[in-house]
Amino acid sequence: KLLFHSDRGVQYACTEFRDQLRGLPVVQSMSRKGNCWDNAVAESFFKTFKSELVNHTDFPTRAAARLATFEYIEGWYNRRRRHSSLNYQTPAQQESYFYTSQMAA
């Protein structure tokens, strides 16, 4: 199942939206009331995603937008973009280090 996490905005909490999710293989999750830190990682990612790709790209079709999003996440963000929160490693490098250290332990 897909996890759909959001803040407690009215658009996500309304009956109509929740009814739409019920017919899908989706589990809805919401931030705790008044806790802005619950979504901090997602908010940070989307800010970066918008500033590096979305805000200066015209996508001719939805398919082109989907492909560009996939290429951004899998080809750039996870594999080549260095992250200060990961000591300037890429997520792929950090993941590799994690699994290597787990196997050695």
Number of domains composing the chain: 2
Query: Residues 47, 17: one domain?
Result: no
Residue 60 within any structural domain of the chain: yes
Identify whether residues 46 and 17 lie together within a single domain.
Answer: no
- In order, the DSSP letters of the chain are -EEEEE---HHHHSHHHHHHHHTTTEEEEEPPTT-GGGGHHHHHHHHHHHHHTGGG---SSHHHHHHHHHIIIIIIITTT--BGGGTSB-HHHHHHHHHHHHHH-
Residue 35 lies in a domain: no
Tell me what the mean pLDDT of segment 50-55 comes to.
Answer: 96
**Domain, as residue range, for 13:** 1-30
Is 16 in the same domain as 55?
no
Q: Tell me the per-residue pLDDT of 81-101, one tens digit each, with 9 for 90 and over.
A: 999 999 999 999 999 999 999
Question: Residue range 3-24: average pLDDT?
Answer: 90
